[in-house]
Amino acid sequence: MTQKIAWKYFGKSEAKYYDNIPEMSAARNSGKVQVLCGPPEEFMELKNRAPVDPILITASTSGHETELLLLVRKDSGFHSLSDLKNKTLVMSMRNTRADSMFYVWIETLLMRAEHSSIETFFSTLKETQTTSRGIMTVFFRQADACIVTRQLFNLAAEMNPQIGRELVPIARMSKLSHGIISVDRRLPRDLKKKIRQAFLALPDSSEGKQLLMLFQISKMIPFRPEYLSGTEALFAEHQRLKNRLARR
């Protein structure tokens, strides 16, 4: 999840990328694809449209959970979200296929404080192709705050210790899930088992290691429902707050 993991669909030897959830669900329902890989927000959107079962979850070196951080410069004088009113926020580009976890989290924080939207709270919202660029934008004082994952922040601080010294989180959200690997629910049990074993064996080959490195994944582990509970709770709260604001 930390990175933006594109949905890919593997049918026989092919891998295909879909731009929206309706196309994904149509391909899944038609039986054209058997395995789906993507961020948790897309899995939660798709599971209501197509017969899919999660079998694996991606993990970093710190485990299967990820944490979102709202970062500012230590010398900025910002200590809470309210301090960022009419300031500049930078974050990775919005997910066009489902509500991005980054956006859902910051919108939830704002709605808790009775603010209606990101656009009306911040003076400027900058979107970047990569989350790491957001860190550097705040580091070089080109934006006031950014949203990143703990994993990416730690990696950036390891590469440049000055980043770890000069940037600090003023809000955080933990116990969120990484990417989800799911399969067609209608597949035979034996085939599901083979698919699971094939993914678990990726670190054993050079090609598999390169694929995992590309998506900044350390390993995959068997999925358990509780691994997604924190993410589901965040999205449920986000929807409740949206509905409450819409009724006003």
Distance CA 8, CA 33 (A): 9
Domain 8-62+177-226 has CATH 3.40.190.10: yes
Domain-wise residue ranges, the chain: 8-62+177-226, 65-176+238-246
Residue 94 vs residue 124, higher pLDDT: 124
Which among 125, 117, 151, 135 has a CA at the least distance from the CA of 5? 151
Q: How many CB atoms lie within 10 A of CB 77?
A: 8
**Which pLDDT score, from 0 to 100, does residue 213 have?**
79
**Which pLDDT score, from 0 to 100, does residue 4 have?**
29
Confidence of residue 124 (pLDDT cuts 50, 70, 90): very high
Tens-place pLDDT, residues 77-98:
999 999 999 999 999 887 665 6
Residues 187-199: what's their mean pLDDT?
Answer: 88
Q: Which residues, listed in sequence order, are joined to residue 184 by a DSSP beta bridge?
A: 52
For CA atoms 120, 124, 128, 130, the dihedral sign is negative
Q: Which residues, listed in sequence order, are joined to residue 8 by a DSSP beta bridge?
A: 17, 37
Which among 33, 46, 40 has a CA at the least distance from the CA of 5? 40
Residue 217 vs residue 53, higher pLDDT: 53
CB 97 within 8 A of CB 61: no
Check pLDDT > 80 for residue 140: yes
Which among 142, 144, 137 has a CA at the least distance from the CA of 163? 137
Check pLDDT > 70 for residue 181: yes
Query: Which CATH number does 65-176+238-246 carry?
Result: 3.40.190.10
Q: Do 8-62+177-226 and 65-176+238-246 come out as alike in CATH topology?
A: yes
**Residue type present at position 189:** R
**Which pLDDT score, from 0 to 100, does residue 34 have?**
79
Q: Which residues, listed in sequence order, are joined to residue 229 by a DSSP beta bridge?
A: none
Confidence of residue 32 (pLDDT cuts 50, 70, 90): low
Percent of the chain with pLDDT over 90: 50
Check pLDDT > 90 for residue 158: yes
